[in-house]
Amino acid sequence: MRKFAAVLAAATVAFAAFAPTAASADPRVDHVLLLSLDGFHDFDLTNYVAAHPTSALAKVVAEGRRYSDATTQVPSDSFPTTLAMTTGGSPRSTGVYYDDTYDHDLYPPKSDCAGPIGTEVAYKQNINNATIVGRLPDSADDIDPTTLPLQLNGTTCTPVYPHDYLKVNTIYEVAHAAGLRTAVADKHPSYEILNGPSGTGIDDFYGPEFNGAKSDVAKIIANDGLKVTAVLNQIDGYASRDNAHTTPVGVPAIFGMNFQAPNIGQKLSGYLDADGTKPSSVQTLGKSNIGGEGLAQALDYVDSAVGRMLDELDAQGLAHDTTVIVTSKHGNSPVDRNSLQWVDPSNIKKLIDAAYPGVLGLVTADTMPLIWLKDPSKTADVAALLQANAASIGAGTITSGADVGTLFGGQLGGNPSRIPDIVIQGAPGVLYDTGTKLVDHGSGSVEDTHVPLVVVDPHGPRGITINCPVSLRQVAPSILQALGLNPKSLDAVRLEGTKVLPNGPDCG
């Protein structure tokens, strides 16, 4: 899948918008546009560019540095990897393992910090204000504080907003503190987490809720379109919601969005077999999805939208002063639908509850179940129970206790109340679902973690492939460096020693 030479040879059109200017003594740029094509695998980029040599994505590859061995954060979920790209840290420093986790030091919503401590912490559509009428929830102001977990600050019980939950600062906070404008467009209001612990990192946040659109490719494309319009407004120097272009505010120094269309296209229509036919073993799910057509529709839409952004950067005279980064928060698995095995995630809960009533705190299960116990002293017993029933719960490997810290690179002493007690890596092809989707993500498998990463730097080398193993954590310090800011301003960069991305084949 990595026939990069052929791909680049097919993409030799002269793209003037990103042609480098004369060598500059100052490699800094004024803007960084960060785009995530959620669900996109590295091989998806290879295949799409090969089939569409004049596409916008081919343009990006031809004019950028492509990192052929880039991996997401593990767990390969949107929250951990979004934070990896914007803090430089893994969950061991961010304290965030998924968008639905458990914390032994927080109280349940509406508990007034009374009663047993320890609660599920879910930062998804569940925290949106249910009384909004006439529009999608899209702002931090649309979060209902009564749905949030609670903490005691002295004798005061306060809600824990997503940004309060994050333990390290973000690139947006660093840029904002330097007097630069920042913006984010993502899929839930809960992505205000990127404000960072200060709560003030983002000048222009836009998070139109996507949950109601994820059962249909056409609907998710329309939802992505809201964010595309927001980014185009920002390229033109206006706020995300200022579609009428009434009040100029300036182009953000850091901005961008995520696309859900590739992710939902894969979940609902999946991939065709190598011979182009629909696999016979699994049906197609959802609407507007026949065979692999829903996914093809999604990829074509994303390519068109990326092209519109590149064209608008050029039209506004920004192409020579903007670094564009194209990547993905996660891939999805299984790619081969004939290997798909659905396992009902409630089987894990039922198994634990039957043997150890009241011990289970939470199971978060997509392709790698994370398990928290209210009583961690029972970890070894529960892990043994799961191991004895590995086949029935689709387990490939089961990691528990101190070994979980090693799995995630250690704890750095920063989040012992949050780290899972047990982690199950599903067997190949296993998806923890009842039959509503064809793929998902979360695990450490190659399909879930090997994603594209292309950096189009107007002052750097172009049209090259770098084979060094890199992590998406390295995006964060690289963005700050591109803007002339200090990468070590990031807490997680200092804690984890995260390096900037290499500019050439020297992996050191």
- Per-residue confidence at 504, pLDDT binned at 50, 70, 90? confident
pTM above 0.75, yes or no: yes
CA quadruple 331, 336, 337, 340: dihedral sign: negative
For residue 133, the model assigns a pLDDT of: 86
- Measured between alpha carbons, how far is residue 29 from residues 56, 321, 449 in Å? 22, 5, 29
Judge whether residue 381 has pLDDT over 50. yes
Over residues 413-448, the pLDDT tens digits come to: 668 899 999 999 999 999 999 998 999 999 999 999
For helices 261-269 and 293-315, angle between their N-to-C axes, nearest 10 degrees:
170
Over residues 159-180, the pLDDT tens digits come to: 999 999 999 999 999 999 999 9
Residue type, 159: P
Judge whether residue 298 has pLDDT over 70. yes
Judge whether residue 6 has pLDDT over 60. no
Judge whether residue 107 has pLDDT over 60. yes
Q: How many helices, marked H, and strands, marked E, lie in the chain?
A: 16, 19
Question: Mean pLDDT over residues 115-129, rounded?
Answer: 97
Over residues 241-265, the pLDDT tens digits come to: 999 999 999 999 999 999 999 999 9
- Per-residue confidence at 287, pLDDT binned at 50, 70, 90? very low
Judge whether residue 22 has pLDDT over 50. no
Judge whether residue 293 has pLDDT over 70. no
- Measured between alpha carbons, how far is residue 139 from residues 56, 177, 246, 454 in Å? 30, 22, 20, 30
For residue 13, the model assigns a pLDDT of: 34
Average pLDDT, the chain: 91
